[in-house]
Structure 1
Amino acid sequence: MLDLTSLRADTPGVQHVSHFNNAGASLMPQPVIDAITRHINLEAEIGGYEAAEAQKEAIQGFYTATADLLNTTADHIAATANATDSYARALSSIPFRERDVILTTTNDYVSNQIAFLSLQKRFGIKIVRAADEGNRGVSVDDMADKIKSLHPRLVAVTHVPTNSGLVQPVEAIGQLCQEHDVLYLVDACQSVGQLPVDVSRIHCDFLTATCRKFLRGPRGMGFLYVSEKTLAANMSPLFIDLHGAEWASVDAYRLEPTAKRFEDWEFPYALVLGAAEAHRYALKVGLDAIAERNAALCATLRTELAQLPGVRLLDEGAQLSSIIILYSEQKSAADLKSALSARKINTSISTHGAAILDYDRKGMKTAALRISPHYFNTDDEVALLIDTLHHAFK
C-alpha cells in the first residue's frame, strides 16, 4: 500500500489545489523541483557549459533511469523536448515512398494524425485505420488482416489516447509486427508513469513519451526509445546535427551508434536532471502500485460520476486508464471546469477536434470534461470533486 502521507508531503502543490489534470501536467514532487533549481543555480554561479560538464555523470542518469522505466538499456534512449518532437524524429527516419501504407487506429493522438496527413500530402503515402472491436479498442484480428494484405511501411498505435480511458492492446499488435517484420511506433505519452510499460514485451521499434504527465516531471522534456533493430539498420532522423553524427570527411558523416543520434546538441540540462529524478521517483513508488492505486481511484470516480444527471462517460475498452471523459449536453465542459476551478480543483477540457473519429462515433458534438487522477490524490479530494459536480448540475 502506498504511503499517501509521505507522497503528499513530497508534493507542495497539494497544499494549494486538488489536482485531477495529470493527463495534462502533473504536480512535480520536491526531489524533482530540487534537482532543477540546483542546476539552475549552478549555471548562474559557474556558467552553463561549465555546469553541464560538472554534472556530466548526473546527466547520464537520465538515460539509465528512463531505460529502467521501460525495461531496456541506456543506449536505446534519446532525450527530446517532448513526445511530439520524439514522434517527428522517429517518423523522419523512415524513408517513405509514394503509396506506402501507415496502418493506425481510430483512437490516435491528434498531432500524430496530422503528421500522417502531412506525409500523405507531401509523399503520397496512404493512411489506413484498422477497425475497432466493438467498444474494446482496435481489433487485433483486423490489424493482422491488414498487415498481411497491405504490407504497411509502418504500424502506429497510441497506447492510451488523450481523449479516452481506453488502453490499446499494444503488446498483441507488437507481436504481429515482429512476426511480419513491420516497423512499429508506439505513442506512450499517456501511459508511461501510470501503467507499467515494457518495450521488450511490446516489441516496438520506436516508443515516444513526455515527462510532464503521469511521470510528474518538468514541462519541456520528453524521450524516445529506439530498438536495436532500428539502430542496426542505421535509421536516423532526417535533420541530424553534430551531436547525432560526426562529420567524418567533406562529403560524409558517421552516425552516433546509440539512440543519441536522434538528439540535438543543445539541452535544458536543469530539466534533464529534473526528469531523471522524476523517473527515479516513479520507480521508487512502484509502477504496479501506482497502477493499482489509480485503478481504485478511477473505479470510485466512474461509479459516482455515472450517477450525475444527463452525463455520459465516454470511456470504453477492456482495460481502462486513469483518464475519465465526462460529456453532458446540459452543462458545457467549460462551465463544469469553471465550477471545479472555483473550488481549486484542476481538470481540463477535451475538444471535439482532439479526436474527431472517436468523438463522432460517440455522438459528442462539443467539448467534454477530462478528469485524470493520480496516485497521490486522496479519497477526500475525490469526494470534493463529486460534490462540486453534483452542485453544478442542480
Structure 2
Amino acid sequence: MIDLDRVRADTPGCLEQVFLDSAGSSLPPEPVLAEVLGHLRREAEVGGYRAAAERGADLDAGYQVAADFFGCAPTDIAFTDSATRSWLLGMSAVPLGAGDRILVSQVEYGSNAIALMQRAQEVGATVELVPSAEDGSISVPALKELLDERVKLVSVVHMPTNGGLVNPAKEIIDAAHEVGALTLLDACQTAGQRRVRLDELGADLISVTGRKWLRGPRGTGLLVVNPVAAHRLRPPLIDQHSADWTGLGQWTLRPDARVHELWEYSVADRLGLIAALRYADELGIDHIQAAVVERAELLRAELAALPGVTVHDLGTERGGIVSFSLAGIDGTDVKKALLAKNITLSVGGPTGALLDMAARGLSQVVRASPHYFVSHAQLTRFVAAVAAIAA
C-alpha cells in the first residue's frame, strides 16, 4: 500500500489543485527537485565539469538503478533527453531497405508515424497497419497473418496518448520474433504507472520518458536495448562518447547500450531522473499500478454515469488515462472551466493518434490522468466539477 499522506507531503503541488495530467507532465516529488536544484546551484559555484565529476559515482550508479527498475543489465540502459529522442534513436538504428515492411497499429502515436513514414519513403520500405481486435487493442491473430520474413520492425504502442487502452505487448513481441522482426515498444505512457520490464516483455527496444508517470524532470528519458538484438542495430548518431576514434578513417563503437548516448547532457536533470526511479522503486511499481488503475476505473464509472458525458476508453486491460467528452461542449472550453476551479488536465486533438481518432469519429478528447498522489476527495471534486459543466 502507498502511504498517501507521505507522497502528498512530498508533492506540494498536489495539495491545493486537483492534478490530473500525469500523462502530460507530472509533478516531480521533493527528492527529484532537491537533486536538480542542488546540482544546478553546485554548477553555479564550481562549474559544470567539476560539479559533474563530484557526482560521477552517482551518475554511474544510475545505470544500475534503471536496470533494476526495467529488468535488465546496466549495460542495456542508455540515458537520453526525452522519449522522442529514445524512440527515434531506436527506430533509426533498425536496418531497413527496399521492400522491407514496418507494421504499426491503429493507435500509433503521431510523432512515431511521421518518422516511420519518412524513413520508409527514404529506403523504399512500406508502413502497414495491423487491424484492431474488438476491444480496440492490437489483434494478435491479425498480426500473425501479416507477419513474414520481410517484416523488419513492429512498432508497439504500449498505451496510446488518447486513452487508457493497454496493448498485449508480450504476445505482440513474441509473434514478431517468430519471423525475426525487431520490436520497438513505446512505453512513454506506461513506464512509471505499471510494470515495464525487459526480462518479462522481451522487446528489442523500449523507449521511456522521465516527465510523465515516472515523475522525473522534463528533458529526460532512456532507451532500453535488448543485448540479444544489439548486434543487429546501426546507431544513427555517434560521437566521442559512443565511439573511440582510433585513427584517420577508423573508429570503434561502444559494445553496450551507451552507444546510443551522446556526450553532452543535463547532469542535473539526469540526477533528477535517477532520483525519480529510486522514488518509484521504493513505493513499488505493483503498488503504483494498483493505485493508478483503481483511480482511473473509479473516474470512468463516475463520469460515465453523468448525463451528457461519454467515456471513450477502449481496451479490456486499461491503465491511468481516462478520455471523455461532454456533449455540445468543446474540450478546450471544458479544460478552461476546470482550470478556473484549479483542476489541471489536458485535451488531445486528432494528430496524436490520427488513425484511431478518425476511425472513431473523434476530433478531440478531454484527458484525465490521475496518479497515486491524487486523493479520493479530489477525484470527487473533479467529477462534481464536470457534472456542473455538463449541466
Same fold (TM over 0.5): yes
Between the aligned partners of 1:308 and 1:354, the Cα distance in structure 2 is 27
Aligned to 1:383: 380
- After TM superposition, the structure 1 = structure 2 runs for residues 307-346 of structure 1, keeping only pairs within 5 Å, are 307-346=305-344
Residue 108 (structure 2) pairs with residue 111 (structure 1) = no
Between the aligned partners of 2:38 and 2:360, the Cα distance in structure 1 is 48
Aligned to 1:6: 6
- After TM superposition, the structure 1 = structure 2 runs for residues 240-259 of structure 1, keeping only pairs within 5 Å, are 240-259=238-257
Normalising by structure 1, we get a TM-score of 0.97
Between the aligned partners of 1:340 and 1:138, the Cα distance in structure 2 is 33
Q: SS at 2:324's partner residue?
A: strand
CA contact (8 A) 2:334 2:389 kept: yes
1:108 CA drift (Å): 1.1
Q: SS at 1:66's partner residue?
A: helix
Between the aligned partners of 2:255 and 2:226, the Cα distance in structure 1 is 12
Between the aligned partners of 1:284 and 1:201, the Cα distance in structure 2 is 20
- After TM superposition, the structure 1 = structure 2 runs for residues 69-218 of structure 1, keeping only pairs within 5 Å, are 69-148=69-148, 151-218=150-217
The superposition leaves residues 83-135 of structure 1 with CA deviations (integer Å, 9 ceiling, x where unpaired) of 11111111221221122110111111111011111113322210111111112
Aligned to 2:288: 290
Aligned residues: 391
Q: SS at 1:180's partner residue?
A: coil
CA contact (8 A) 2:66 2:74 kept: yes
CA contact (8 A) 1:188 1:207 kept: yes
- After TM superposition, the structure 1 = structure 2 runs for residues 28-47 of structure 1, keeping only pairs within 5 Å, are 28-47=28-47
Q: SS at 2:251's partner residue?
A: strand
- The one-letter code sitting in structure 1 at the alignment partner of 2:72 is T
1:177 CA drift (Å): 2.5
Q: Which runs of no fewer than 5 residues in structure 1 stay unpaired?
A: none
The superposition leaves residues 144-165 of structure 1 with CA deviations (integer Å, 9 ceiling, x where unpaired) of 12113x6301111110111111
Aligned to 1:67: 67
Residue 54 (structure 2) pairs with residue 57 (structure 1) = no
CA contact (8 A) 2:326 2:390 kept: no
Between the aligned partners of 2:221 and 2:95, the Cα distance in structure 1 is 24
- The one-letter code sitting in structure 2 at the alignment partner of 1:263 is E
- The one-letter code sitting in structure 1 at the alignment partner of 2:36 is I
CA contact (8 A) 1:83 1:223 kept: yes
Between the aligned partners of 1:6 and 1:327, the Cα distance in structure 2 is 33
- Alpha-carbon RMSD across the aligned residues, in angstroms, is 1.2
**CA distance 1:112–1:295, shift in 2 (3 Å):** same
1:74 CA drift (Å): 0.9
Between the aligned partners of 1:87 and 1:326, the Cα distance in structure 2 is 28
